[in-house]
A and B are shown apart, each in its own frame.
Chain A
Amino acid sequence: DADVTQTPRNRITKTGKRIMLECSQTKGHDRMYWYRQDPGLGLRLIYYSFDVKDINKGEISDGYSVSRQAQAKFSLSLESAIPNQTALYFCATSDGAEEKLFFGSGTQLSVL
C-alpha cells in the first residue's frame, strides 16, 4: 500500500464548482504539503501544515483552502474552480528532520 494516498487520481469539473482533493498518509509524519505542478513552472507550494493546529499559506494559496482533519489527513479545496486551476496536484509529507519529502501519486484536475 502507498504511504501517501491521494484521491481522486483524476477529476474533471466545471468552472464555479467546489471540489475537494484528499490526502492521507501512513508514514506518521507531522508535516504535510500541497503542491501544484504546471508544465515549465515546476512544483509550487499551495499550503503546508506542520501539525494539526498549524496551517500556513504557501506561495500560491489564493483560491484554495485546506483542512487538516488529523495527523494523517490533509485536504485541499477549491472554493470556486476556475480553468487556470487545471494542473497536477501533489500531496507530500516530511519528517521534519532532513525534510525529505514523500509524494503521493498526484491528482490530475481539469476545470472546464
Chain B
Amino acid sequence: QQPVQSPQAVILREGEDAVINCSSSKALYSVHWYRQKHGEAPVFLMILLKGGEQKGHEKISASFNEKKQQSSLYLTASQLSYSGTYFCGPGRTDSWGKLQFGAGTQVVVTP
C-alpha cells in the first residue's frame, strides 16, 4: 500500500514556506524523503527515525510521528533550487521487504 501524500502540488514564491504531509496505513519504523528534479533521478534527502529524530537538509526539515504513522516535510524560506517532486517512503523495509513510495508532491518555487 502506497503512503498518501498531500498536497499533490504547491506553488511558492521564493522565501515562502510550505508543508508536505505523508501518511501510511501501515506501521512505519522510519521514513525517507526524496526529491526528484525534472528529468533527473530521485535523490535521497533525509531519514526520519523512530523517536522523532530529525536529520535536515539545507533549510528543509521534517518530523515523524510514529504513533500517527505520519511524517511532514517543511520547506522553510524556499529557494528556487527547492523546485521538484518530493516523495516519501518507508525508510526500513516492511515485512515484505518492499520500499513503496507516495505518489509525490510537485513543488514549484517562482522568483
Contact = CB atoms under 8 A, between A and B. Distances in A.
B103 A100 contact: no
B101 interface: yes
Contact of B47 (A41, A100, A105): A100
Interface stretch (A43-51, A67-75, A78-86): A43-51
Contact of A99 (B41, B43, B91, B104): B91
Contacts, number: 55
Interface in A28-57: 33, 40-45, 48, 50, 56
Interface residues of B, number: 23
A1 interface: no
Contacts of A50: 97
Given A98-B91, A99-B93, A101-B34, A45 B42 contact: no
B87 A43 contact: yes
